[in-house]
Amino acid sequence: MTTTLPPIRPIALADIEAARKRIAGTAIRTPLIRLELGPDGPDIRLKLENLQPINAYKLRGAANAVAMLSESERKRGVWTISAGNAGQGVAYAARQAGVPCTVVAIKTAPTAKLERMKALGAKLVLVTYDEAWAALDTRAYAGVEGTFIHPFDDHNFIAGHGTMGLEILEDAPDVRAVVAGIGGGGLIVGVASAFKALKPDVKIIGAEPETAAPAALSHKMGSPQKFKDWQLSFVDGAGGQSMFPRMWERMRNLVDDYKVVTLDETKQAMRLMAEKARVIAEGAGALPLAAARRGDLGPGPIVCIVSGGNIDLDKFAALVA
């Protein structure tokens, strides 16, 4: 069965402001703190989305998407595809709304993420990364029924993420650049939409790991690309196998630049946040700081979005040791 998708339209400021009211009882306003790097270091602020109830930003988009379901859609239940954080977000929002939830989950996701989805009441269907990526494209998986909530290519999901942009602007009106990790692209599109509407001179920077950087490659080539040298790594919440054409259409006029960081730089950023701010970030949540530390984004203020902290503690300890 072929799914007819709605045409892509810009995420309007009104959409984001409405989402902010809609998710107020589910997602929290997260703090923005300065990372103390000494007098010679850049002014870097951390947007701590790892402090959301599910320890990741995906709750914002999920709460907005679930809140906007019709009554008939709620009765059918919802399902999504996830490496962990989107699944937790949809499961959390669905549980609050009394809606059944199924997650087609990547079997190599951290145990902490899989267990959290189960604890939130989600039924898990475990698949390979390749199977999940294919299902993201077709928006279908055999045997799974209900209303599908796409974890990034969904207008309402993205509008929910845009609420983070409003908070950053209120807490750091002097911000010069915002850096966000890119997986599917929903986070950076939402935040960038808020900034382009309210303060368009702020630079929006995307960060990806060297093992999975289709957005940076697409930017270089001027069209959506597949990342041929894709590798699975501990940065499981960012870096896809390819850039979805619909997401490239959303991103290309909103994101100013892209940074590709090494896995070692990402580990160093994870360790730095733990040492300096006592912040536990998963790999994807450390990508922005890894990019900002290179020193080519100016003196700041630079806001780095710590998108999540869902990582097994023994794995975290091994990575930062």
| Beta-carbon contacts of residue 103 (< 8 Å; ≥ 6 apart) | 79, 80, 81, 82, 87, 90, 91, 117, 122, 123, 124, 125
- Residue 163's nearest CA partner among 181, 136, 186 is 186
Number of domains the chain contains: 2
Whether the upstream peptide bond of residue 151 has omega within 30° of 0, thus cis, is no
Is residue 119 located within the same domain as residue 176? no
Residues 247 and 120 occupy one common structural domain: no
Q: What is the pLDDT of residues 238-276, one digit of tens each?
A: 888 899 999 999 999 999 999 999 999 999 999 999 999
pLDDT in tens, 143-195: 999 999 999 999 999 999 999 999 999 999 999 999 999 999 999 999 999 99
- Does 91 share its domain with 17? no
Say which CATH number the domain at 31 has: 3.40.50.1100
Residues 186 and 70 in one domain: no
**DSSP H helices in the chain:** 13-22, 58-67, 71-76, 85-97, 111-119, 129-138, 155-171, 186-198, 214-221, 245-251, 263-277, 283-292, 313-320
pLDDT band for 133, please (50, 70, 90 cuts): confident
23 lies in the same domain as 167:
yes
In a 13 Å sphere around the CA of 279, the CA atoms on its Cβ side amount to 33
Same domain, residue pair 183 and 253: yes
Average pLDDT of the chain is: 94
What's the domain range around 136?
59-148
Assess whether 111 and 220 both reside in one domain.
Answer: no
Domain annotation covers residue 1: no
**Where does a domain end: 120, 148, 176?**
148
CA distance linking residue 146 with residue 154, whole number of Å: 16
pLDDT at 5 over 90: no
What is the pTM for the complete model shown? 0.93
Residue 3 lies in a domain: no
Residue 3 has pLDDT above 80, yes or no: no
Q: 174 and 103 share a domain?
A: no
Question: What distance in Å separates the CA atoms of residue 122 and residue 300, rounded to the nearest whole number?
Answer: 41
C-alpha 137/C-alpha 17 separation (Å) is 29
Domain boundary pick from 127, 148, 169? 148
Of 72-76, 259-263, 286-290, least confident by mean pLDDT is 72-76
Please identify, among 148, 166, 184, the residue that sits at the C-terminal boundary of a domain: 148
Percent with pLDDT over 70 in the chain = 99
**Within this chain, do residues 162 and 86 fall inside the same structural domain, yes or no?**
no
Residue range 18-68, pLDDT digits in tens:
999 999 989 999 999 999 988 888 999 999 999 999 999 999 999 999 999
Q: Read off the pLDDT of each residue in 9-24 and give the average, rounded to a whole number.
A: 97
